[in-house]
Amino acid sequence: MNADQAAEAQVVAENLVKRFGSFVAVDNVSFRIARGEIMGFLGPNGAGKSTIIRVLCGLLRPSAGRAIVAGIDVTRDPEGVRERIGYMSQKFSLYRDLTVEENLKFFGGIYRVPRAELRERMRFAIDMAGLAGREHAIVATLAGGWQQRLALGCAVLHRPPILFLDEPTSGVEPASRRRFWELIHTLAADGVSILVSTHYMDEAEYCDRAALINQGRLIALDSPAALRRTALGGELLLVECDALGPALDALTQAPGVIDCSVFGSALHVLVADAEQGRRELPAFLASRGLSASRVERIAPSLEDVFVQLIAADTTKRREAA
C-alpha cells in the first residue's frame, strides 16, 4: 500500500495481541483496510476471527498493539468508535419477538439516527432486505436469509463508513448467501469498508482481499487469485483411476510430486509442473500396473491453499523454535 492508500485506510491494526489468561487468542496481527474495500477473514472456529473483530469494535481491550478505526484509537475512545461502525455479531442479535419495523426503529434510536433521516433510512434498509410489505412481520417468522439481511439493514441505518460482519452467512442457504454478498458489494461501491469473517473458504472469492487466520495468527493476506497462484507452491492435478489406495501409495513416491491425497473418487496430486505431470504420471502409474482414466489440471480451492499454508507455517515455527 502506498502513502495515499494508507491515508485512506479506514481500519488499521498494528501488532494486535489479545490474551485471555495464558491463552493467546490473537497473536501479533497487522493489516489495513482501505475505503470501499471488502476484506475477508477466513479461518476455522476458534481461530480468533471474532476476537479480532470485537477488539476493533471496542468490545475487548487489546493486550498489546494498536487498532485505529475511522481515525479513532480504539483503546482510547471505544465509545467514539461505536458511532462510526456497524456491527453484525455472530449470534443473531435482533429481537425475534419484535416486528421488522420495531427492530429498525430500535436500532435507529440506539444509533441516534436523526429523526428526519430515520424514515428514509428505514425505507432503504427494508428495500435492501427485500422486506417491502412485510414491515409488520414478527422477525421470528422470517426465514434465515431474510433475518440476516434485516440484521445488515439495522447495522447500516446510521450510514457507518465501516462495517464489521462476524460470520453473517452462517447457516444461510447458498442463494440467500449470494444475495447477501451482492448487498455487500453494493455497500462497498458506496465507499463503505467492510470486514467479513467466515468459515466457508469459498466465500473468499467474493472479497477483494482475504486474510487467512489460524490459531490467532495471520497466515496470509492477499487477493484470492494471488493466493491461489502463489501460495500453493505448486500446481494441482486431478487423477482418476480405479485402485485409489495403491495409486495413492505409488504417486507419493513419483518424481515431481509434492503431495497427494484422496478426494472423493479421485486423487488430487500437487506437482511442481502441471504440464510435466500430465505427460509423465500416466506412464508412471502404468509402470506399477495401474491405469489412470483422467489426468487433468484443476484450479486449487482456497482450502487446498490454506492447508499448504498452515503446513508451511508450522514448519517455519518449528524451525524458528
Binding interface with other proteins (CB under 8 A): 43-47, 143-146, 171-176, 178, 181-182, 185, 189, 199-202, 204-208, 210, 214, 223-225, 244-245, 261-265, 298-299, 301, 303, 306-307, 310-311
Taking CA 264 as the corner, what is the angle to CA 263 and CA 266, rounded to the nearest 5 degrees? 65
Distances (CA, A) of 159 to 163, 201, 297: 10, 29, 45
Contact 305, 211 (CB under 8 A): no
Phi then psi for residue 142, to 5 deg, are -85, 150
Taking the least distance from each CB to other proteins, the nearer of 225 and 272 is 225
Taking the least distance from each CB to other proteins, the nearer of 28 and 215 is 215
Q: Whole-angstrom Cα distance, residue 135 to residue 141?
A: 12
Taking the least distance from each CB to other proteins, the nearer of 46 and 109 is 46
Considering the complex, what minimum distance in angstroms separates the CB of residue 173 from other proteins?
4
Contact 88, 151 (CB under 8 A): yes
Taking the least distance from each CB to other proteins, the nearer of 164 and 181 is 181
Considering the complex, what minimum distance in angstroms separates the CB of residue 105 from other proteins?
26
Helical H segments across 190-243, by residue range: 224-226
Helix-strand-coil split of the chain, %, nearest 5: 40, 30, 30
Contact 194, 34 (CB under 8 A): no
For the record, the C-alpha cell of 165 comes out as 460482519
Taking the least distance from each CB to other proteins, the nearer of 132 and 311 is 311
CA-wise closest residue to 240 among 251, 232, 229, 230: 251
Considering the complex, what minimum distance in angstroms separates the CB of residue 27 from other proteins?
15
Considering the complex, what minimum distance in angstroms separates the CB of residue 254 from other proteins?
19
Phi then psi for residue 228, to 5 deg, are -70, -30
Considering the complex, what minimum distance in angstroms separates the CB of residue 104 from other proteins?
21
Taking the least distance from each CB to other proteins, the nearer of 287 and 293 is 293
Q: Whole-angstrom Cα distance, residue 157 to residue 144?
A: 20
Considering the complex, what minimum distance in angstroms separates the CB of residue 314 from other proteins?
9
Taking the least distance from each CB to other proteins, the nearer of 93 and 223 is 223
Considering the complex, what minimum distance in angstroms separates the CB of residue 11 from other proteins?
19
Q: Please report where in the chains the cell 475505503 appears, as a residue.
A: 35
